[in-house]
Amino acid sequence: MSAESAGAAGSAGAAGSAGTAGSAGTAGLTGTTLLFCPADRPERFARAADSADLVILDLEDGVAPPARPAAREALVAALPTLDPARTVVRVSPAGTQDFAADLAALDGTGVRLVMLAKAESAAQVERLAGFAVIALCETARGVLAAPELAAAANVVGLMWGAEDLVAGLGGRSSRFDDGRYRDVARHARAAILLAAGAHGRQAIDAVYLDIADLDGLAAEARDAAASGFGLKACIHPKQVPVVRAAFAPSADEVAWARRVLAAAGEAGVGVFAFEGRMVDAPILRHAEHLLHAVESVAGR
């Protein structure tokens, strides 16, 4: 499928020569937006990189299989012009011939961030030693393995994908006609968010395929931000400012956060009343997250 969505893999040594991954946390994942760009469209790379906080150059489903060798060549040729701190390469699923070819192409390029398509186990992620990895959980096994994937030392984030997941289950669509996710997709979304949070990794929300429906995108992005996702992936440049705005707290939210934190400092107790509501440690953390979100959005 599009941005959502047999041979031995390349050696860990080959992967290791491409860069050095952070050992934990969310290193390398800054801002709130990622934008997919097919690796066989090098004329789009610069615009994509300028649009979003992170660009994902896609060697997997965004490129037809016959075009993948040329896509690898185009990607490698363009990498010196791109910021390695803001460039992610999506590689094919572990164990496929394309996975081995993708790693061979990246050897020695300086790429730091890799997204592993259809990630399903920590053993697969370990084959990407030397890279900081975003594990894309878009199969039933991948969703169920989310805690194991999040615990892997070189994983910096988890992303989920609805369309491949539902297709793999034999389903027909991930959403109802009104745009709401079906229960299985909602479960997967929550599972990835919880696994990422439990291990201090960044959680990335899935793409929104209806490019024309910017209102629906904005609502989904606001929900993602409120729930705890740190970023949301996009498939078109015009989605990026919508997502960025949705992740930015409103002026009223920022003002409330500053007031309640100031009141907490004055109260000097664990629980106190503020503007008619009880406030305790979790509420103060909500306020801190709002102010941190301001910094994340302003970082671009």
Q: Which of left, alpha, beta for 265 (phi over 0: left; psi -120 to 50: alpha)?
A: alpha
The residues near 130 (Cβ < 8 Å, ≥ 6 apart) are 12, 15, 16, 17, 18, 19, 20, 21, 154
Please report, in range form, the residues annotated as the binding site for substrate: 90, 138
* DSSP structure class, residue 175: B
d(CA 197, CA 199): 5
CA 107 → CA 13, 17, 57, 111, distances in Å? 9, 6, 16, 8
Please report, in range form, the residues annotated as the binding site for Mg(2+): 138, 164
d(CA 132, CA 16): 10
Please report, in range form, the residues annotated as the binding site: 90, 138, 164
Helix (H/G/I), strand (E/B), else coil: 146: helix
How many Cα neighbours within 13 Å face the side chain of 288? 7
CB 232 within 8 A of CB 218: no
d(CA 70, CA 150): 32
